[in-house]
A and B are shown apart, each in its own frame.
Chain A
């Protein structure tokens, strides 16, 4: 188990994690009010979509209903992954990223939206939790389980609706 504070390239770190674990990844949660993508190269959204290519991983995205074209484009990039669910909530302010793998789980939460600016320009702060345990006996695993419960419950709230 590990707990780490990340201040630089939070989303690149998460993309690295997703890429390295893509063979055993079975569910990915991306929760951020704003999502943007350069749709190429080292852009985190692009790398996450590429890493999931050919996997059966289930992708769950919760974001604000997109008002800007760049936001919609980024959501559409994520929709390229066949096994996806995208939800919208106008009141969303949480930023939480969870990777569930066989034998391993990781969660990152903090200030960064899932955008290139958050990864490269803004001053951001996030906490990363990793554990190879499941359940709530081990402290870090318990926190990850709590965050997963939060994400799961968020999806069920009244104002959170599937985005067409």
Chain B
């Protein structure tokens, strides 16, 4: 059996490397603590306090920890559901071309919610409001065909397999073009930005009425939207959709974009457009920066505490498996020189000082040390990993 990093470095049960997992570790904050607990949570609290929905653009370099941060925010909402009742729907943007319309996002959001859940919500909405679903959604700003399509979901019982007409309505709302939608009385396939906005609005209204929660859509990796900048008509379509989403008039659902890239000025136009940024407000445009030298030290300390079985390490020190003279828990799994040089590397290479890069390098130097039968990582292992 080949050696594993987990055994060699006495990682905690279930850990196979030094890399956090966005789902499993969503409750943990390994870095950006001041920004998450400060700017991000502050932005959420401020919007709730003002009776507004959460609207935010979170940006930063690739691998800086945006996805982890946004997953942590979802966890935070679960923990604070009493004071901040919200439900987050997170999707990563798929392939985007210069002709991709807003259904490229709306479709995956609906799929993430799921048809069965939507059917339950529509029935719940009718029960909670006591009103005719279609008429009521229309009265709250949902466009005609979209409201009709949501109304058709009532044809299904929440516990049974949905009939074809309901599946067709669901597809219609996702922006899928089919002949069947005309056969069940729905109009032309959805194509306009205000129609797609209406789909999100209707979902937000359903969740608010049935669950008493704010629905927050999160679109991860929106930097892919830069391809849209190359087509005028598509760009206008997305700007119109985003303008509606981030406008104060939208007090029904929240929306968060995360963007990878170097700086605010390099965002896709469909987000950085002045009309959108002015609606969003500069305090809701939050940058996650690379880790400065102090942050790197803190990050490594938190990883160590979460990932390493300290009792097992100290038993290995007592048994002589780890050289007691070289061992210090606050530097584990490094020797003194290895620790200093590892930190120095990130100090000198701030462009790369991002959690993903640091974890990759930590796994790499750990692997080199393991190959050389070294229980602590020293400068030689760093050289071999080209650090």
| Residues of A near any B CB (own CB < 8 A) | 1-2, 16-17, 19-21, 23-24, 40-42, 46-47, 50-51, 103-104, 106, 130-132
Q: How many whole Å from A60's CB to the nearest CB in chain B? A: 21
Which residues between 254 and 294 of chain B lie within 8 Å of chain A, taking CB atoms? 262-263, 265-266, 289-290, 292-293
Decide yes or no: A103 and B347 within 8 Å by CB, A23-B289, A23-B292 being known contacts: yes
- Min Cβ gap B217→A in Å is 29
Of all chain A residues, the one with the shortest Cβ separation from B293 is A103
Task: Pick from B30-38, B305-313, B317-325, B348-356 the stretch touching chain A.
Answer: B348-356
Nearest CB on A from B6, distance (A):
32
A20–B348 CB distance below 8 A: no
* Chain B residues with CB below 8 A from A23, complex form: 289, 292
Asked if A47 meets B351 with Cβ closer than 8 Å, knowing A24-B292, A132-B344, the reply is no
Interface residues of B in 89-117 (CB under 8 A from A): none
Is the pair B348, A131 in contact by a Cβ cutoff of 8 Å? yes
B169-212: contact bitstring with A at CB < 8 Å (1 yes, 0 no)?
00000000000000000000000000000000000000000000
Q: Give every chain B residue within 8 A of A130 (Cβ-Cβ).
A: 348-349
For B262, what are the chain A residues with a Cβ–Cβ distance below 8 Å? 16, 19, 42, 47
Interface size on B (CB < 8 Å)? 15
State the CA gap A44–B366 with chains docked (Å).
36
Q: Which residues of A contact B350 (CB under 8 A)?
A: 17, 20-21, 104
Contact B353 A20 (CB under 8 A): yes
In the complex, which residues of chain A have a beta carbon less than 8 angstroms from the beta carbon of B292? 23-24
**Known pairs A20-B350, A104-B350. 10 more at Cβ < 8 A?**
A20-B290, A41-B265, A50-B263, A51-B263, A103-B293, A103-B347, A104-B347, A130-B349, A132-B344, A132-B347
Q: Could you tell me the distance in whole angstroms from the C-beta of B347 to the nearest C-beta in chain A?
A: 5
Query: Measured between C-beta atoms, what is the minimum distance from A142 to chain B in Å?
Result: 16
Chain B min CB distance to A5 (Å): 15
Interface residues of B in 341-378 (CB under 8 A from A): 344, 347-351, 353
**Which residue of A is nearest B350, CB measured?**
A20
| CB–CB B266/A42 < 8 A | yes
Q: Are A47 and B263 in contact (CB under 8 A)?
A: yes
Q: How far is the CA of A40 from the CA of B269 in the complex (A)?
A: 13
Known A-B contacts A41-B265, A50-B263; the reply to A17 vs B351 at CB < 8 A is yes
Closest 6 A/B residue pairs (Cβ) = A20-B350, A20-B351, A130-B348, A16-B351, A132-B347, A21-B350
The distance from the CB of A8 to the nearest CB of chain B, in whole angstroms, is: 15
B348→A2 contact, CB < 8 A: yes
Chain B neighbourhood of A16, CB < 8 A: 262, 351
CA distance in complex: A85, B360 (Å)? 41
Which B residues are in CB contact (< 8 Å) with A131?
A: 348
Least distance between A12 CB and chain B CB atoms (Å): 10
User: How close is A41's CB to chain B, nearest CB, in angstroms?
Assistant: 6
20 inter-chain pairs at a CB distance below 8 angstroms, sorted by A residue, are A1-B348, A2-B349, A16-B351, A17-B350, A17-B351, A19-B262, A19-B351, A20-B290, A20-B351, A20-B353, A21-B350, A40-B265, A41-B265, A103-B347, A104-B350, A106-B348, A130-B349, A131-B348, A132-B347, A132-B348
Could you say which residues of chain B place their CB within 8 Å of the CB of A17?
A: 350-351
- Let me know if B265 and A50 touch, CB within 8 A: yes
Q: How far is the CA of A47 from the CA of B262 in the complex (A)?
A: 9
What residues of chain B lie closer than 8 Å to A46, measured between beta carbons? 265
Q: Return B272 CB to nearest CB of chain A, in Å.
A: 11
In the complex, what distance in Å separates the CA atom of A51 from the CA atom of B265? 11
- Once bound together, how far apart are the Cα atoms of A133 and B293, in whole Å? 14
Known: A20-B290, A20-B353. A104 touches B348 (CB 8 A): yes
What CA separation (Å) do A163 and B78 show in the bound complex?
Answer: 60
Contact in complex: B266, A41 (CB < 8 Å): yes
Chain B nearest CB, measured from A116 CB (Å): 16
When chains A and B are docked, how far (Å) is the Cα of A130 from the Cα of B348? 6
Bound form: Cα–Cα A47–B263 in Å: 9
Q: Which residue of A lies closest to B343 (CB)?
A: A132
Instruction: Report the separation of the CA atoms of residues A50 and B349 in the bound assembly, to the nearest whole angstrom.
Output: 20
Q: Which residues of B12-61 have CB atoms within 8 Å of chain A's CB atoms? A: none
Contact of A19 among B263, B344, B348, B349 (CB under 8 A): B263
CA distance A1 to B348 in the complex (A): 7
Among residues of B, the one whose C-beta sits closest to the C-beta of A46 is B265
Which residues on A sit within 8 Å (CB–CB) of B290?
Answer: 20
Which A residues lie within 8 Å of B348 (CB)? 1-2, 104, 106, 130-132
List, in ascending order, chain B residues with CB within 8 A of A50's CB.
Answer: 263, 265
CA distance A2 to B263 in the complex (A): 26
**Least CB distance, A22 to chain B, in whole angstroms:** 9
Shortest CB-to-CB span from B62 to chain A, Å, is 12
CA of A46 to CA of B351, assembled, Å: 18
In angstroms, Cα B258 to Cα A163, docked, is: 43
Name the B residues within 8 Å of A24 (CB-CB): 292
CA of A132 to CA of B349 in the docked complex: distance in angstroms?
10
